[in-house]
Amino acid sequence: MSRRVDALILVMIMALAPLVPMASAHPSITLSTDVNHVILSPGEATNITLTINNNGSSIETYSISVSGFDSVWEVIPADSNVSGVIPTLSATTDIAIRLSTTALPSNSGTLTITVTEPDANISSTIGVQLSVLPQYLPAIDT
Q: Which range marks the domain in which residue 72 is found?
A: 2-132
Mean pLDDT (whole number) for 50-58:
94
Any alpha helices (H) in the chain, and if so which ranges?
2-16
Question: At 43, which CATH number?
Answer: 2.60.40.10
142: in domain: no
32: in domain: yes
Total number of domains in the chain: 1
140: in domain: no
Please give the model's pTM, rounded to 2 decimal places. 0.79
139: in domain: no
CA dihedral 140, 101, 70, 109 (to 10 degrees): -70
* Bridge partners, residue 126, by sequence: 23, 113
**Confidence (pLDDT) at 6:** 80
Mean pLDDT (whole number) for 111-139:
91
55: in domain: yes
